[in-house]
Amino acid sequence: MRYIALKLLWGDRVKFLGLVFGIAFTSFMMTFALSYLAGFITRGFALIDENPSVDIWVMDRAVSSTQMTTDIPLNLIYQIRSIPGVSYVTPMLLKDVNIRYLNGKFQDAQMIIVDDASLVGVPKLNTDKNLLYIPNSVAAATGGTHGKLVSAGLSYPTWSLNQHMRKMQAGDKILLNHNLLNVIGIADSLPRYPPRVLLYTRYKTALQVFPSIKNRATFFLVKVKKGADIQRVVKDIEKTGLKARTAQQFKKDTVLWLLQNSEDVGDMVSMLLLAVIVGFGVTGIMLYMFTYENIKEYAILKAIGASQNQLISMIFFQAFMSATISVGMGIGFCALVGKILFLYEFDYPFRMMWFAPLVGVLGVYIISFVVALISIYPVLKMDPTIVFARR
Model pLDDT for residues 282-320, shown as the tens digit of each residue: 777 877 877 877 787 778 888 787 788 888 888 888 889
What are residue 202's phi and psi, to 5 degrees?
Answer: -90, 160
Same domain (yes/no): 103, 60: yes
Task: Provide the domain count of the chain.
Answer: 2
- Please indicate, yes or no, whether residues 67 and 151 belong to a single structural domain of this protein: yes
Position 211 scores a pLDDT of 93
For 79, counting Cβ atoms within 10 Å of its Cβ (0-12 exposed, 13-18 middle, 19+ buried), the class is middle
Q: Same domain, yes or no, for 93 and 177?
A: yes
360 has pLDDT over 80:
yes
Last residue of a domain, one of 221, 240, 261: 261
pLDDT in tens, 20-73: 888 888 888 889 888 988 888 899 999 999 999 999 999 999 999 999 999 999
pLDDT at residue 90 tops 60: yes
Q: When comparing pLDDT for 266 and 45, which is higher?
A: 45
Closest of 54, 7, 78, 44 to residue 245, by C-alpha:
54
Write the Ramachandran bin of 104: left for phi over 0, alpha for psi from -120 to 50, otherwise beta: left
Confidence class for position 272, pLDDT limits 50, 70, 90: confident
Write out the residue range of the structural domain in which residue 329 sits: 2-42+263-388
Same domain as 99, residue 214: yes
**pLDDT score of 391 more than 60:** no
Distance in angstroms (rounded) separating the CA atoms of residues 303 and 297: 10
Same domain, 101 and 246: yes
Same domain for 290 and 215, yes or no, is: no
Is the predicted pLDDT of residue 146 greater than 90, yes or no? no
Contact between 94 and 144 (Cβ < 8 Å) = no
* Whole-number pLDDT of residue 291: 80
- Residue 109 phi/psi, 5-degree rounding, is -155, 170
Kindly state the average pLDDT of the residues 161-184: 90
Looking at the predicted structure, is the pLDDT value of residue 351 above 70? yes
Asked if 308 and 341 sit in the same domain, the reply is yes
pLDDT band at 388 (very low <50, low <70, confident <90, very high): low
User: Are residues 175 and 35 both part of a single domain?
Assistant: no
Query: Which residue pairs, CB below 8 angstroms and at least 24 apart, start in 45-50?
Result: 45/250, 45/251, 45/254, 45/255, 46/189, 46/190, 46/191, 46/192, 46/193, 47/112, 47/192, 48/247, 48/250, 48/251, 48/254, 49/190, 50/121, 50/123, 50/189, 50/190
Of 213, 231, 261, the residue that ends a domain is: 261
Do 14 and 101 lie in a common domain? no
State which of 236, 261, 286 marks the end of a domain: 261
Q: What ranges in the chain are assigned the alpha helix state H?
A: 2-11, 13-44, 46-49, 77-81, 203-209, 230-238, 247-261, 263-293, 295-303, 308-343, 355-375, 377-380
User: What pLDDT is stored for residue 198 in this prediction?
Assistant: 97
Residues 372 and 239 in one domain: no
Query: Facing residues of 245 across strands?
Result: 57
Query: Which band of pLDDT confidence, cut at 50, 70 and 90, is reported for residue 387?
Result: low
What's the rounded Cα separation, in Å, for the pair 61 and 247? 16
Check pLDDT > 70 for residue 390. no
Distance of alpha carbon 177 from the chain centroid: 33
- pLDDT tier, 262 (very low <50, low <70, confident <90, very high otherwise): confident
Higher pLDDT, residue 99 or 6: 99
- List, for residues 194-228, the tens digit of each pLDDT value: 899 999 999 999 999 999 999 999 999 999 999 99
Same domain, 195 and 54: yes
Q: Rounded to two decimals, what is the model's pTM?
A: 0.83
Q: In this structure, are 79 and 174 located in the same domain?
A: yes
